[in-house]
Each structure stands twice: as C-alpha cells, then as structure tokens.
Structure 1
Amino acid sequence: MKRIFINTWMLLVLGMGGVWRATAQQANSEQQPNFILIFTDDQGYGDLGTYGNPTIRTPHIDQLAAEGQKWTNFYVAANVCTPSRAGLLTGRLPIRSGMQGEKRRVLFPDSKGGLPLSEQTIARVLKQKKYRTGIVGKWHLGSRPEFLPTKHGFDYYYGIPYSNDMDRVDSVPYQQAITQPKNEYFQVPLLRNEEIIERPAIQNTLTERYTKEAIGFITKNKGEPFFLYLAHSMPHVPLFANEKFKGKSARGIYGDVIEEIDWSVGQIIETLKKQGLDKNTYVVFVTDNGPWKIFKELGGSSGPLYGAKGNSYEGGVRVPAIFWGPGQVRPGQVTAIGSTLDILSTFAALAGVDLPQDRVYDGYNLSNVLRDSHAKGPRDEMFYYHASQLVAVRKGPFKLLLYGNSEWAYPDKLVRLDAPKLFNLNEDISESNDIAAQYPDVVQALQNLAEEHRRGIKPVVSQLDLL
C-alpha cells in the first residue's frame, strides 16, 4: 500500500513537473527576443583572432564565436560605408533605394540626400511589435534633420552622423590629419537624438562612451523587448586610441583600437548576463566592408582574401560575422552563404513580424541555420555592386567577375574586363586561379543570372549624388 502511494505521489510530481516545463517553454516561446547588432567600420576579414590574426588579441569576440556561430562566407551589401549600411538596415540592395552614387560613393556633411523615409529599417519593422530601438555610434545615412535615426524608427540616438575623418579643418592636409591625428583636426559633431552635444567629438574616448551608452540602453529597457544597433566609428581612420589601450597591442595603434572594441563586446555580454538577458538576446557582430589598405599599417587585413575596401574582390565585401544566442543559436562554423542583407528578414522572423509586401527584398531568413549550424542556408547567390554597376555575381561556389580594379582599391576607378573571370571560391578563396576557359557553361549560366537580375532593377534617384 505504501509503495502504491509513493508511486502515485511520484507520478503526480513528475506530471506537475512536466506541466511546469511545458508552461515555462510556452512562456519563453512567447517572450520577444532582444537583438543587439554590433557593427564596426573598415575592419577586415583577417583582423580577429578567431579569423586567424596572429597579433591582435580579441578574447571576448573569439569567445562569442566559440559559443555561437562563426560565418566564413558572409557578405556586405556594398564595398563602402553608406551603401553598406543602407543595405544592412533595409534588407535591400542600395541601388533599389538610391543609396549609391557615381559622383560620390558615400554621403558627406554637405550632402542633401539620405536614406529615403519610405524605406523600412530594422528599427521601424520591429516597432510593429513595440520594440524599444536605439542606435549608438556612427549613422552615415544622412546628416540633415529629416534623415537622422530618429526619423527612421529609432527611439534613441547617440553618436556621430558620418565618418570620423569628415569635417576636416581645411588648414590641415589630409595625410597629416590621418597619420598624426588630433581631435581638433576634425569638427565631427556628437549628437544625442537630434541635438549636438559636443563638437569636435573627442574621439579617443568614443568607443568607451559608446559602450557606456549601450549598457545604459540595455539596462533601461531590460523589461521590454529591445533592438540596439551599436555602430562603432573605428577602425576607420583616423585612429584614436584610448589611453587605457594605447600601446598595448603588438599590431600598433590599429590593434589598440580593435582590442578596445573587443573589450566593449565583453562589457555588453557581461551586462546581458548580469541582467539575466543573455538567454533571450541575439547578438550579431559584423563589419561594414573590407579594410582600407591604402593606409598600410593604419588599415586592416583581409587575411587570405584578395582585395580591400572599395572593390568587389572578396577582400572588399566578405567580412567576419558572428551570431550568438545561448540556447537559441547552435554553435559551429557556418560555411553557408550569408549577408547583412539577411539580417532584417532574420530578425523579423525571430520577432514574429511580417515584412511589408510592397517592395522587393534582397535578404533571406537565416533562422533555420541559426538553429542548426549544419543546415543548408537559403541563400545560394550574391550580387556584387560598385555604385550602380553590377560587377560580379556568385552562385554556389562560383563567382563571375565582370569588372576589376586595384587590390588596394578605394578610391580607384573601375575597369571592365576584356573577358569575364571565373573563380571557384570553395577551392580558391584568394581568387588567384581564373577557370573561365575550363567552365564555359558556368560562365554563361552566371552571365544569364546577372542579366536576369539587372532586368529586375528599377532606376531611382541617387541620394548620394544630390548636391
């Protein structure tokens, strides 16, 4: 009798435990996830320890990759800053929104254009589910009041409106200002929402202050779903090192700057854990384009890739990308093709938001790969643009290059190749072996794909060329 009572009691307890687990799982599934997108400027594919750099110490980012997913075939929407950021936030190739230019490759302080208000940013999309949205760092999608982040779905903005080498004092030669930088050489403003709170921005402490602002945003909004876009101003030149990190890296000042960004990542993750948010937050670390190699030791490394910022070789557009989310992102190295164009669709799917169907998107939902690092990714092709010119196309492992320029690139002229070049990127990551003559059928198929894509592009006014 006693045994029957004990067994019955155990079944009851186990049953109640099962009900509790089911209820907890249901509650967790109904809880909106948080999103943190960390975006660096001009950081190369080879500038992190986890991607093979032998001298720059990035333990926090390396740990992020070890606990999450490290993507090795991840691309940006464009090979320079403004169009790359437009593609990231809208999930659309920049040419669809006019965020590409022939006269100017990026926006400048005197530019009259900016990201059109008709575009749907990640922030605006997530607002449909009542997300709190904030950007800390560099914007570079229009500095006029009508184009600032607060007009594009962000509740809060703290940062600089364009690149940190702009608003240079005319009396100081550019080369001197870059190689021997002083804060007073660049009259870049620091904004809070729409108000200038500091000019010139004291750049030595920007990374530290960005980090504090980001932590403040997380802490303030921990009780509701949030999206934080942390867009670091560096390692774009001029390089300003914080005194706490100056001279600490074997890689010189460039390494000092990267190692402070790594510290910043560590602070963000520590905050999530302290606030009990780590199990319900996706963190993505990615950069905006390849390294600016013309500045030599002041620029970064594209590692095994050929090319740099401003061209459409792999070194200009393939970037480090890490997805982290304990219990949500299955750890592993992902070799599937992905892009910053996919982040909008992925975040929307994870948040349960339907994207507006009145426009063409160039992104894919990567959530199935986040759940299983070995899953087949939805993206099998990539279109490479230089301003409004389609210069290359990739499908599977094959990349067809139609135009070329110098390895060190930006600023540099684009040259149409006499004959297209074909590379198998799975076997030739550095694009050193042209196999077009061996695979004429693949060349033709990719040319057809490029032509089909061009027919789907509708011309719009270039926002970058509005002066």
Structure 2
Amino acid sequence: MNKVLALLILAGVAIPGYGNENAPPNVIVFLADDLGYGDLACYGNKIIQTPHLDKLASEGVRMTDCHSGGTVCSPSRAALLTGRNPYRSGFFYIHSRNTYLKDEEITLAEVLKDEGYETAFWGKWHLSTLERTGYVHPGPSEQGFDYWMGTTLNAFDKLGGPHGPMAFLKNGEPVGEVDGWYCDVIVDDARDWLATKRNKEKPFFMYVCSHEPHTPIDPPAEYSAKYGNPRVEQLEKQNEYGRVARPKRDISAHKKDYYGTVNQLDDAFGRLMKTLEEEGLKQNTLVLFTSDNGPETPVTFEESQGQWEDPIRDKCFGTPGVLRGMKRYPYEGGHRVPGLARLPGVIPAGTESDVLFNGTDILPTVCGLVGAKVPANRNVDGVDAFNAFLDEKVRRNDSAIWFFPHHGDTWFRMPHISMRKDNYTLVAWLPKRAEGVSLDQWLATSDPDRVELYDVSVDPAQSNDIASKNPEIVSSMKQEMTSLWREMRDEGLQK
C-alpha cells in the first residue's frame, strides 16, 4: 500500500474497494486570474495582505514549483479541466468562434459526476461562448456541471469596470444585472449553494474562477486606501517584474488598486472557507488554490504606438517574484504560479513542497484521490501528482511542456516553448515566419530552432544560459521537445 493511500484511509477518506464508510472527499478548485507567483504574503510579498490564503498555506502545503497548464487564460483552463496539454484541444490562444472546448473532451466535472458527485462552477469560463447566439458552443452544462453561474469573457467588457451591473448567466439563462464586485458576486452565490442548494447526500466538486486580479482593476476604495502610503511606495521599488520592460511614463499612482484587488480577492476566498467550516465540511474537503498564468504586464510606450494600446493595463503591478517573464512568457514567470492545497489529516499542515505540480495534473490527481479512472482512449498529459502535496517525488512519463500560444513571429522577442526535465528548463524559438507563409502553415511546419538551457534549481531567474556548456543535455531535451511539440500541435490542428 502506498503512502498516499495509507494517509487517506487513516484520515477516514472513503476509497472504493477499501471498505471505508465515511463520505468521499469533496473537492474545491479556486482559480485566480493573472495572479503572480510573488503576489501573496506567503510567497514573500511584503506589501499585500493575504491572511486567508496564508492560513490555507499554514494548514496544508505551499508549493514552490506549481505551474498552470498554459501561459494565458483559455489554454490553462482547458488543461485544468481535461488533464491534457491545451494544444491538444486546439487552444493555441483564447477561445473564439472556432476555438472552444469541444464536446468530445472529457472534463473533471464529467468524471466526478459519473462517480456520484454534484458539480458546480462559478465565474470566468473562457472556454466557449455561453450566450446563445447564432452559434452555440458546449458550455458548463454540456461539460459536466450540474449548476453554474458564469461569464464568457469579461462580464463588464462594455460596462467600464469590475463591479455591477455585470452580465452573468446561470445554467444558461441571463440573470439580469448583477451589482457588486466580481469575486464577491461569485463567492456569495457559491456560499449560498454550499449552505442551502446542494444535495447534502452527495459529495461535491466546486470550481470557482475569479476575474481578479485581471484587468480592469478597480477595487472598493477601502481596499485601495490601505496601500496609498510612502511605505508601499518604497517597497514597490523592490519588486521584480520578470525582466520585462515597464512603461517609461509614471504609472505608480495605480499600484494601490492592484494591491487592493488582491487583498479583496483574499477576503472573498476567506468567506468561502468560513462557510465551508460552518457547514462542517473542512475536514473532508480538498481545497486547491492556484492561478491561470503569471501576472499581466503594463503596455510600454513603444508598444502602445501600435495595436497593443491598452491603458487599463497601467494598473498591473503583479510580480512573478524572482522568476523571469510574466503572463504569455514561456519563461518560468509566465506559468509558475501560487499553489496551495489543504486536506486535513492527509496533507501535513505547514508543508512546503518543491516538487513540480502542473495544471494538467489536477484531473488525474483528483481521480486518484476519489478512486475514479482517468479518461481512456485519449492522450492525458498530467499524472497523479498527489505526492507533490507531500513533498515527495512524482513520476512522469514525459517532461512538462508549455507553449506561448501565438502564431506570429517572436512577439515581444520571447521564446515560443519551454520544457522542464528535472531541474533543467529548455526554452526554444520557432524559426521566423518567411514572407508569404500563412500563420497556419508556419505553425504546422515549424520545429524548435534556437534554444537556451537553464538549471532553475540554482538559477530560478533564468539569467545564466548554460546551453553551450551542456550540449548532450540540450540535444536530448530538444529531441523530446520536438517530439512532444509535433504530437500536441498536430492533434490540435485537427480540431
């Protein structure tokens, strides 16, 4: 009997086939949007107050090598729900009329529903168009959720702010104007469902996706006011931004809004945890908190002269800590994110784990926890990585790999692909697209070209390229990277 299984049985968690009579574990996945690796106090942030997430870390595990399955929103969400690299599902970028989570994909919600779980989703879906327009995509209902309240993209795209009125849908039907801030609205509904609406005879799976701290950023005044002082001004100057260029113009007045937004998100999360405890569910619920990618970058002056003008991004003060890169970047800062997990009696309180855990691992890890089978007859890239919660080694068949989902040339001069094997990270560029070659043709025919190699165990900032000193490692890793890239890309291009 392995250690994880023994811990589950000792904790009274029901495992099929072992005669346990206690209820199967509930599962809550709480996904923040654009939250950086260095944005929480428990990850070293000296400015932002995050007491509720810090408490979660103290009661469970704080992972220092946790990654989203993609470097931007839709791909990472597809990876989380399917256990598959998002390129396999056709998510080369965010969802559109032709890019959405297809019905043939099997989600974690569908797996758990078949195991007798009640399933519910709140917040930012970003995997299909929820509104019933001229074209209809599979939504949360078709992807296994019994109850849901969510939005397609920004609930407030045309309304000018992250608070009411917002265009939510509930179980496919518009719910009218919803007033309030996004994280508060979804958490309040989730708390109500948890306390009064769910079937209390069933275990449950809750998937809660905040919009914070994605732009637009405009928290309640009382949150911003906490951070408008000289001490914050000095501390912000010590923050690192992944060696990504910041605007030359002065945007410092906006920092208090970003910090206040993360503080507000923490409070909303804390209220959900309070309801969980009040309902007597804390002891038998796995809670996993993470982010969909690294922190967003402001738009520099040079970029704003072209198509990337976006002044609302002037409020982006998220930090990847010491890591290189931010949102979109295949460097570590683009996909290494906060990862906190708690399951009392199973995950030792106050654990710190430096074992890699990827967004694709969530589905098979939960399957292992509840005794469900991982979907068959398809490529599932994640593995049961519960050992990462215990700071113990996780076995993988293939290296973890991430792509920057763009089809053009080296946008922002960043690489296109990164791959981790043990402590080594290989980052690679595809060759420059030749004149007259279409984007699709370029994508379908290009292989990794120029590369860099880093040992992130001693160089988390990826500042020392050691490729020239390690030709054998580069050759082996590049061969694996090329094989995985071709396989995943080609599967996705068939979608």
TM-score between the two structures when normalised by the length of structure 1? 0.81
2:208 is aligned with 1:233: no
Separation of aligned partners in 2, 1:239 and 1:124 = 33
Q: 1:245 to 1:396 in 2, by over 3 A?
A: same
Aligned to 2:60: 68
Verify the 8 A CA contact 1:392 1:403 in the aligned structure 2.
no
8 Å contact 1:161–1:189 — kept in the other structure?
no
Rounded Cα–Cα distance in structure 2 between residues aligned with 1:182 and 1:75 = 26
How far apart are 1:382 and its partner, in Å? 1.4
Taking a change above 3 Å as real, the CA distance of residues 96 and 54 of structure 1, as seen in their structure-2 partners, is same
2:120 aligns with 134
**Post-superposition CA distance 1:138-174 (Å, at most 9, x none):** 10111144322111100111122213563x37xxxxx
Cα gap change, 1:183/1:320 in structure 2, threshold over 3 Å: closer, same or farther?
closer
Counterparts of 2:465 and 2:19, CA distance in 1? 54
Match of 2:322 in 1: 304
> Which residue pairs with 1:151 in the alignment?
142
Distance 2:156 2:297 in 1: 16
Q: Which SS does the other structure have where 1:149 is aligned? A: coil
**Cα distance in 1 for residues equivalent to 2:343 and 2:374:** 23
Corresponding position: 1:400 with 2:392? no
Name which one, 1 or 2, has greater alpha-carbon Rg.
1
One-letter amino acid matched to 2:420: R
* In 1: Cα distance, 2:13 partner to 2:324 partner: 49
Q: Tell me the SS of whatever aligns to 1:437.
A: helix
- Note if 1:212 corresponds to 2:188: yes
Distance 1:118 1:213 in 2: 29
Contact 1:107 1:162 in 2 (8 A): no
Counterpart Cα distance in 1 of 2:430 and 2:269: 36
For 2:39 and 2:13, how far apart are their aligned partners in 1? 41
How do residues 50-199 of structure 1 correspond to structure 2 at under 5 angstroms?
Answer: 50-100=42-92, 105-108=93-96, 111-144=97-130, 145=132, 146-164=137-155, 166=157, 168=158, 181=161, 189-199=167-177
Counterpart secondary structure, 2:49 = coil
Q: Distance in 2 between matches of 1:53 and 1:342?
A: 27
Pair 369,318 (structure 1): closer, same or farther in 2 beyond 3 Å: closer
Q: CA deviation at 1:392?
A: 1.9
| Residue correspondences, number | 412
Name the residue aligned to 2:292. 288
Match of 1:348 in 2: 367
Q: CA contact under 8 A between 1:130 and 1:225: conserved in structure 2?
A: yes
| 1:237 CA drift (Å) | 0.3
Report how far residue 320 of structure 1 moved.
Answer: 0.6
Percent same amino acid at aligned positions?
32
Q: For 1:237, what is the secondary structure of its paired residue?
A: coil
Contact 2:78 2:127 in 1 (8 A): yes
Distance 2:401 2:11 in 1: 44
Stretches of structure 1 lacking an aligned partner (at least 5 in a row): 1-20, 170-176, 406-413
Match of 2:336 in 1: 318
Q: Say yes or no: does 1:361 pair with 2:349.
A: no
What one-letter code is carried by the residue in structure 2 that aligns with 1:96?
Answer: R
Provide the rounded CA distance (Å) in 2 between the counterparts of 1:445 and 1:165. 47
Question: Residues 299 and 76 (structure 1 numbering): CA distance in 2 closer, same or farther, change over 3 Å?
Answer: same
Task: Describe the shift of the 1:42–1:384 C-alpha distance in structure 2 as closer, same or farther (beyond 3 A).
Answer: same
Q: What is the DSSP-based 3-state SS (H/G/I as helix, E as strand, rest coil) of the residue aligned with 2:223?
A: coil
Q: 2:107 & 2:11 partners in 1: Cα distance?
A: 35
1:398-452 Cα shifts (integer Å, max 9, x gaps):
11111299xxxxxxxx999974111000000000001111111111110111123
User: Which string of whole-angstrom CA distances, capped at 9 and with x for unpartnered residues, describes residues 258-278 of structure 1?
Assistant: 111111221122222211111
Judged with a 3 Å threshold, the aligned counterparts in structure 2 of structure 1 residues 301 and 182 are, in CA distance, closer, same or farther, namely closer
**Residues 376-391 of structure 1 correspond to what in structure 2 (within 5 A)?**
376-379=393-396, 381-387=399-405, 391=417
Pairing 1:420–2:451 present: yes
Distance in 2 (CA, whole Å) between partners of 1:24 and 1:452 is 40
Q: Distance in 1 between the 2:163 and 2:13 partners? A: 52
Task: Report the TM-score when normalising by structure 2.
Answer: 0.77
- Say whether residues 1:451 and 2:482 are aligned partners: yes
Aligned counterpart, 2:301: none
In terms of mean alpha carbon deviation, does 292-301 or 273-282 score higher?
A: 292-301
SS at match of 1:151: coil
